[in-house]
Structure 1
Amino acid sequence: MKRRKFFKNTVKGALGASIIPLTSFSDISAQSSNNINNTEAEKPYRNTDPKQWHQMGTGKKPRPDRRKTLTYDVAVIGGGAAGMCAAISAARNGAKVVLVQDRPVLGGNSSSEIRVHLNGVNHLKNGLPERETGIIEEILLHNRFHNPQDAYPVWDHILYDFITREKNLDVKLNTSAIRAIMSDDGKIKAAYCWQSTTETEFTIEADLFIDCSGDGLLGATAGALYRTGREASSEFNEKYAPEKEDGWQMGSTVLLGSKDMGRPMPFEAPHFTIKYDAEKSHKGRQLKPFELGFWWVELGSDNDIIGEFEDNKHKLLGYAYGVWDYMKNSGDFPETENYALDWVSSLPGKRESRRFIGDYILCEPDMLGNKQFSDAVAFGGWSLDEHNPGGIENLSEPPSYFHQYFEEPYQIPFRSLYSKNVPNLLFAGRNISQTHIALSSSRIMATCALEGQAVGTAAALCAKKNVLPRELGQKNITELQEQLLRDDAFIPYRPANDKNNLVKKAKLIFASSTSSGDPKLLNDGWSRDYNGKDHHWQSEGLPAQVQIEWDERQSISKIEIKCDTNVKRNIMLRRDSLENDVYTTQIPKELLKSLDAEARVNGKWIKVGTIEKNRTRLIKFYFEKIETSAIRINLKETYGNKNCRLFEARCYS
């Protein structure tokens, strides 16, 4: 469909793209702000008898009083990719953190409940990824080592294993953050939460709150400004936006999976099935391959997409089974004869609802124009991807109207990741401060994960410095960016320049052998080859050595290096276990497996650390502080490459 016709046909004007504070909830929160542990907590118990429970065996007659007040530096709401990375980064940077997740599993749309691929910057115009590093890469590598069978139920526990091993971090599953409790100065004082499995009320107090829940109920009940719907093209000069603002929000999808059973498998549709009318369906609604279901079994809304969720879920299940019924019983697809459904999602994967308002609203021209932000903290690069208003109920139109691909990743500013009017609220994920068209790209999970790492790090710095996010962004943005880069995040066009990195003072960096790049590039601030320029040193065979020399002795207790994981190839979990030049199910063969580090003390080399089974791109050696004039890194083996490639070397006192 041509763009002008698309705009003309989809101008609905039902709600308009407007700024909405959820006043009814914030009023309730404000009323309860001075009496958290009494008025609010007592409500469920007002009509109960303290002795109504006769506990057999002990003869006691207690009332089940399951109410707890917990206090943290940082509270993260939502356990998807954004929330997990926010919680981990805050904890690693010294904050006491809680992660609140309303589902029994972590992972959000990528979990076994929904099974969406954890996409990121998968396909630039050159056809290659510019894959995300940092915490989200650690998680994906953890999965490659422990889940080679690509099982989604195992993926759930890969995530659980990864996050529960983190110090300073508590996890509350099956727990919903129902509303914010506000203080008199307009900040969130606590999140009132309900854990369904234990019938426990949690009042979670914190200095900073990060809403990564997607729908953003905590932020909404705090009175944070937000938008829903599509902006008019004139507001932000967006060529892909409609001429007039309207209430349209991108829809949710029910996915299914099928399996070849090796024998004919008849199918009888359930009573709630909605017939699929193939004759009216646009040719863009492709039915092959069918094994992984159809992303375009989608329903959006131009009204209250959150309130309509259960009704839309019922319809989506009907539509999903209707498409499968057509595949199995129309006679047009004999190749499905031996196939049977082996999984259908009962929880639709969401794409859009609330978008909070920050100090900056990210928009389409920022992305297409590759705007450079002084406060950039993350990046994206999935194509602008506007879906069909009406979804599967608008069969005659294509399921997606366009893919506007990017030449290179765009930057995401910190000002889009905290609330304009609730001073201690940050957010990451699809609910950040952006337009509808911008969301069509940035909603992708790995991009959300980068935002999560950024706001988690920011929250920890806020807690450490006793400042709020806006002040941090105005006065300490360089410190935030440098910490993100040290932790292996990547910010396009923002090289690292950490003044505390002692390698910056080195007299000489050299290597035992070089096949490409230069050892000096380990000190140039770039952690990957970018825009056609080398920022690496690569050995000629293994074993190999890299040595760093200083004129004067240095007090050193930390050595950090960044090795190669081939960011031009994706390692995400996919339901089809795709293996080609862009995707792999294998551990990256470029990853460094074994190495050790030595320091020269009084003319003798002393070993300060050994790693035999490395599993991360960012490799750390921490040891008792020593006085040394040289460091030597001995590289022994990769997971398959004959050479080893390094991008960065750092040392700290």
Structure 2
Amino acid sequence: MRFTSRLFSILTVLAMTVLSSDCVSAAKPTDGVLVEAESFNQHGGWKLDTQFIEIMGSPYLLAHGLGQPVSDAKTTVQFPSTGKYRVFVRTKDWVAPWNAPGTPGRFQLAIDGKPLKETFGTKGANWFWHDGGTVEITKPEIELSLHDLTGFEGRCDAILFTKDLSYSPPNEMAPMDQWRKAMLGLPAQPEKTKPYDLVVVGGGYAGLGAAISAARMGCQVALVQNRPVLGGNGSSEVRVWAKGLVRRGKYPHIGEIIAEFADSATASPGTYEEFGDDVKEATVRAEKNIDLFLNTHAYAVKKEGDAIQSVTAFNTKTGKQTEFQGALFADCTGHGQIGYLAGADYYTHEKGHMGMSNMWTWKEAEKTQAFPEVPWALDLTMDDFPYPKRFHGEWFWESGFDKDSIKDLESMRDWNFRAVYGAWNAMKNKDGKDKHGNAVLTWMAYIGGPRESRMLRGDVILRRKDIVNKVAFPDGCVPSTWSIDLHYPKKQYMKKYPEDPFISQAVFDRSVDRKRGYPIPYRCFYSRNVPNLFMAGRCVSVTHEALGTVRVMKTGGMMGEVVGKAAAICTEKKCSPRAVYTDFYQDLDRLMSLKGVERRDSIDGEFYTPKNATQLPPVIDAYIDPAALPGLVIDDENNNVQFVGKWTKGEGLKGYIGNHYVYHGRGKKAEIHFKFQVDKPGKYEVRLAYGHHENRATNTPVTVRSPQETKTVKINQRIKPPLPNGFISLGTFQFEKDQPIEVIMSNSGVDGNVHADAIQVLPAE
């Protein structure tokens, strides 16, 4: 474990400054031409990978072909003069860190269709400038193309031509360092934006919730996302279905914004269409108060005192730099990157943290499908991994538990590649080949789905014991309904690679109320030492254990909604995020009670609901707390309930008492006995709770038995119960103190399913 203070962050920034100085120590070569791979006019089948910019300094193109060579990336290049140039390609042999045999990332660089003699992606465990020899440039404009040879994750960052044949470019590079900017002829200073009320960095669920919420509260918002699509882990690129219940607890309208764009995936990974990238983007672009900046990576922060003054970013395709000026900033990057750059206090769980997943899918084709041998992949047989049922390699394809959760991200992703290709090789070429001759790999995420990295520190650090003990913070607001779900390596699959497991298991602590949720405090959503920094998503102020429940996407999205509303108060009152809690919490309480579609056009405007807004129906609460009901309530989970026969638990009919109800069909004898006593004599009304449905019995026998009398009534359970909370009266009875009493439901002679939930005993008036 590590706690990182402001002092450590400052030292880190100084160290990065020294590194940047080393990076720019190499002078710009005479007649040098730098071509960024991401700026190619046509990417062909190569993918733009932006997730490791902080590690290796740049976006790059990735030949992600699942074993089939991808189509060429092409561009045209202008040269200042003709003549002899030395060519360098910044790349790596991505399996070299493990000394794996073979070079799966091989590719060629062609000039006007003629490939150079050197094959790239064949050397170097780290990113470096691979010397491609010399070429004669005979005309001022040429066509460059990247020609993939394998389909197995070849990668190209940039290409350098120089007439200085002895020149060596710098290997270590920082994002947008001076050498790169000089080579590209970029302006020394970035273009400045207008001042925004709120700059949101990160376009996952948390960033979407923050941006849309703040915009609807009248703030001027910039939403900065370094990918071409929105949704983060919940996009078509990663395909993790969004979990966590919304619209419940003290503020049932929180989550309505998330409900507007949340995915419809029925599995994880789902299909491209299920994740609705276009719906997310359309939802954002419909907000007049949001300026959206896709393919824009934030890499630097300017401060005035302790506060952030601006965030500088560059376009991942063109290199254009933009300085986003703002009064408030929201770190929704997942990695806490903006907070880190700003010197915010943060925490990382160094060993045994949750890792990164790269999921995959496959299908059965009509004819035999070959797959090449992959000696560089993990050497697996069918017993070394869970068989991918339902044509899915699911969430548990996860690694990196003991690696650095920031610096080793590319290594984690590449290890996942080796694991998946090793498993697929086992299915296709080893002990699974007789069964999987027609199987074809259809998709694998090259954008990793990380679960845990930096957690920025707020005025409250939410801990597991707070959640388990249901500590009621006065600013509890966002309901977390996911269990405390922590991932660990699954020992069954650790035998071959115990130093770096690639299959995980989920260990659940079900102390969280999964119906109503545990309310996360607002004070977890702003930095304790950077006065104008909010955070939402998995980088909020929690411990490793508490992250296990708050980290799911819909919960993170609701955090964003609250941050957006708090940003509006900061803008209106000219106060800090902390002051929203100390001085203006009643204003936040009021805004959190608004419907998601309610808005105002400016910070001093009037609230209204657009005429064309889709009004969500009220939430039918699935859960009614027995303790919140009057009288004596005995739920089906109570120790004083006895079952005869095997009853099935159900949650499909909403409005039930406790965690579920039970039901039983016709046929084999079944009974349920609710047993109780009263603490003083008198007349009592006895009620039964059930859920009505067309498949329920019209003649369910229910008997009330006491020493004084026995009475049986028959209930039509296809009809909605007439009393509040799903109850029907069984009658009024005289009960004596401490005598045994029971209510018995059976399936004797019924014409449908019988449904039992709870009984309620109330003093008769």
Query: So what's the TM-score if we normalise by structure 2?
Result: 0.52
Q: CA deviation at 1:119?
A: 1.4
Partner letter of residue 303 of structure 2? Answer: M
Q: What does residue 486 of structure 2 align with? A: 386
Partner letter of residue 324 of structure 1? Answer: W
For residue 248 of structure 1, give the secondary structure of its aligned residue in structure 2.
coil
* 2:131 maps to 1:23: no
* 2:583 maps to 1:443: no
Q: CA deviation at 1:451?
A: 0.5
Q: Is the 8 A contact 1:429 1:448 kept in 2?
A: yes
Q: CA deviation at 1:252?
A: 0.1
Q: What does residue 203 of structure 2 align with? A: 79
Q: What does residue 192 of structure 2 align with? A: 69
Q: Is the 8 A contact 2:399 2:504 kept in 1?
A: no
Q: Is the 8 A contact 2:238 2:448 kept in 1?
A: yes
Q: CA deviation at 1:256?
A: 0.6
Q: What does residue 166 of structure 1 align with? A: 287
Alpha-carbon deviations, 1:240-295, whole Å to 9, x = none? xxxxxx6332100111111232333333344542122554x5xxx63241512132
Alpha-carbon deviations, 1:269-326, whole Å to 9, x = none? 44542122554x5xxx632415121322211243522111112211110101112222
* 2:323 maps to 1:203: yes
Alpha-carbon deviations, 1:59-116, whole Å to 9, x = none? xxx9764831012110001000100110110111001000111111111011121111
Q: 1:261 to 1:166 in 2, by over 3 A?
A: same
Partner letter of residue 253 of structure 1? Answer: S
* 2:359 maps to 1:255: yes
CA–CA distance in structure 2, aligned partners of residues 206 and 97 of structure 1: 9
CA–CA distance in structure 2, aligned partners of residues 470 and 274 of structure 1: 50
How do 1:563-582 residues align onto structure 2 when only pairs under 5 Å count? none
For residue 100 of structure 1, the aligned residue among 217, 224, 234 is: 224
CA–CA distance in structure 1, aligned partners of residues 14 and 448 of structure 2: 31
Q: Is the 8 A contact 1:188 1:222 kept in 2?
A: yes
Partner letter of residue 233 of structure 2? Answer: N
* 2:624 maps to 1:532: yes
CA–CA distance in structure 2, aligned partners of residues 93 and 225 of structure 1: 29
Partner letter of residue 621 of structure 2? Answer: D
Q: Which has the larger Rg?
A: 2
Q: CA deviation at 1:329?
A: 3.6
CA–CA distance in structure 2, aligned partners of residues 177 and 381 of structure 1: 32
* 2:260 maps to 1:138: yes
Q: Is the 8 A contact 1:385 1:404 kept in 2?
A: yes
Alpha-carbon deviations, 1:494-542, whole Å to 9, x = none? xxxxxx999xxxxxxxxxxxxxxxxxxxxxxx965364279xxxxxxxx
Q: Give the structure, 1 or 2, with the largest relative contact order (CA under 8 Å, sep 6 or more).
A: 1
How many residues of Structure 1 are paired with residues of Structure 2 in the alignment?
446
CA–CA distance in structure 2, aligned partners of residues 394 and 131 of structure 1: 45
Q: What does residue 540 of structure 1 align with? A: none
Q: Is the 8 A contact 2:382 2:432 kept in 1?
A: no
Q: Is the 8 A contact 2:462 2:546 kept in 1?
A: yes
Unmatched 5+ stretches in structure 2: 34-77, 81-139, 141-183, 598-605, 609-617, 627-651, 656-765
Q: CA deviation at 1:471?
A: 0.5
CA–CA distance in structure 2, aligned partners of residues 30 and 168 of structure 1: 36
Q: Is the 8 A contact 1:251 1:391 kept in 2?
A: no
* 2:348 maps to 1:228: yes
For residue 562 of structure 2, the aligned residue among 439, 454, 462 is: 454
Partner letter of residue 158 of structure 1? Answer: V
How do 1:36-47 residues align onto structure 2 when only pairs under 5 Å count? none
How do 1:342-357 residues align onto structure 2 when only pairs under 5 Å count? 342-357=442-457
CA–CA distance in structure 1, aligned partners of residues 221 and 457 of structure 2: 25
Unmatched 5+ stretches in structure 1: 1-15, 32-39, 57-61, 125-129, 230-245, 490-499, 503-525, 535-564, 569-653
Q: What does residue 663 of structure 2 align with? A: none
For residue 396 of structure 2, give the secondary structure of its aligned residue in structure 1.
coil
Q: CA deviation at 1:182?
A: 0.7
Q: 1:416 to 1:363 in 2, by over 3 A?
A: same
Q: Is the 8 A contact 1:385 1:401 kept in 2?
A: yes
Partner letter of residue 69 of structure 1? Answer: K
Q: CA deviation at 1:438?
A: 0.8
Q: 1:393 to 1:188 in 2, by over 3 A?
A: farther
For residue 577 of structure 2, the aligned residue among 462, 466, 469 is: 469
Partner letter of residue 582 of structure 2? Answer: Q
Alpha-carbon deviations, 1:93-149, whole Å to 9, x = none? 001000111111111011121111111149x9xxxxx997311101138x79xxxx9
Partner letter of residue 346 of structure 1? Answer: Y
For residue 151 of structure 1, the aligned residue among 272, 275, 297 is: 272
Worse-matched range after superposition: 296-305 or 249-258 = 296-305
CA–CA distance in structure 2, aligned partners of residues 327 and 219 of structure 1: 44
Q: Is the 8 A contact 1:215 1:431 kept in 2?
A: yes
CA–CA distance in structure 1, aligned partners of residues 481 and 447 of structure 2: 27
Q: What does residue 188 of structure 1 align with? A: 308
Q: CA deviation at 1:24?
A: 3.7
For residue 424 of structure 2, give the secondary structure of its aligned residue in structure 1.
helix
CA–CA distance in structure 2, aligned partners of residues 209 and 342 of structure 1: 39
CA–CA distance in structure 1, aligned partners of residues 217 and 399 of structure 2: 40
Alpha-carbon deviations, 1:564-610, whole Å to 9, x = none? x9999xxxxxxxxxxxxxxxxxxxxxxxxxxxxxxxxxxxxxxxxxx
How do 1:103-122 residues align onto structure 2 when only pairs under 5 Å count? 103-121=227-245
Q: 1:256 to 1:208 in 2, by over 3 A?
A: same
Calculate the aligned-residue CA RMSD, in Å: 4.1
CA–CA distance in structure 2, aligned partners of residues 567 and 488 of structure 1: 23
For residue 388 of structure 1, give the secondary structure of its aligned residue in structure 2.
strand
% same residue = 30
Q: Is the 8 A contact 2:254 2:561 kept in 1?
A: no
Query: So what's the TM-score if we normalise by structure 1?
Result: 0.61
Q: What does residue 509 of structure 2 align with? A: 404
CA–CA distance in structure 2, aligned partners of residues 567 and 443 of structure 1: 26
Q: CA deviation at 1:390?
A: 8.5
* 2:421 maps to 1:302: no
